[in-house]
Amino acid sequence: MSVLGKLKPEAIWHHFEEICNIPHPSKHEEAMREYVVNFAKKNNLEYEVDEVGNVVIRKPATKGMENRMTVIFQGHLDMVPQANSDVNHDFKKHSIKPRIEGDWVKATGTTLGADNGIGVAAALSVMEATDLVHGPLEALFTIDEETGMTGAFGLKHGYLKGDILMNLDSEAEELTAVLYSLIKKLTFPPV
């Protein structure tokens, strides 16, 4: 049953809850990679998995915006796996249990993985949206950000086509709201 289903923007929280159900500690990102690859397939979006296991998904511009600069959303597939001492949690097998507490989404007994699950969820929600006007978009999801950044260091020249990179692995408050309103009025100049 959905715990976060009533939160808005719904698209973001839908993906975030799905991500909570997918074990994805650092160095064990296979299932998360599968999730974003399946997402790309389902939405008929071009995607590429590189040698180290990073994923990039590409979305063409909407009509009339083809000459805009390409914006890259950057996030990472892994999370920090930490459980309370009284909790028996296998991060390679078990789901994170999110709950709403006042104005906060928290996890019971473990880290929540908002870093960077919410960034990944925000990027996916934009990549699947049909009501936004935008130039070409890329979503980059690296592996192993939390324990060595081997994904980011393994990026090959030419893997990304974009001009402007937005880091969604940020501790800024209200990231998703800012991202959404920004995307809604992307007015970057023509290339």
Using CA of residue 58, residue 64, residue 70, residue 73, what is the dihedral sign?
A: negative
Output the smallest distance, CB 64 to Zn ion, in A.
35
Q: Taking CB under 5 A as the rule, does residue 176 contact Zn ion? A: no
Q: Taking CB under 5 A as the rule, does residue 169 contact Zn ion? A: yes
| Residues forming a β-bridge with 48 | 56
In the annotation, is 78 catalytic? yes
Q: Which of 78, 115, 128, 144 binds Zn ion (CB under 5 A)?
A: 115
Query: Where does this chain touch Zn ion (CB under 5 A) — which range of 30-38, 59-67, 111-119, 151-159?
Result: 111-119
- For the record, the structure tokens of 91 come out as 């991060």
Closer to Zn ion by Cβ: residue 26 or 116: 116
Q: Under 8 Å CB-to-CB from 164, ≥6 apart: which residues?
A: 69, 70, 71, 72, 188
Pseudo-torsion of CA 56, 24, 144, 9, nearest 10°?
Answer: 50
Q: Taking CB under 5 A as the rule, does residue 116 contact Zn ion? A: yes
Closer to Zn ion by Cβ: residue 40 or 143: 143
Which of 78, 128, 138, 144 is catalytic? The answer is: 78
Give the helix/strand (H/E) hosting 31: helix 30-42
- Which strand ranges, in their side-by-side order, compose the sheet holding 55-59? 46-49, 55-59, 137-142, 71-76, 164-167
Query: Where does this chain touch Zn ion (CB under 5 A) — which range of 9-17, 36-44, 98-106, 114-122?
Result: 114-122
Any idea which residues carry the catalytic annotation?
A: 78, 145
Interaction site with Zn ion (CB under 5 A)? 115-116, 169
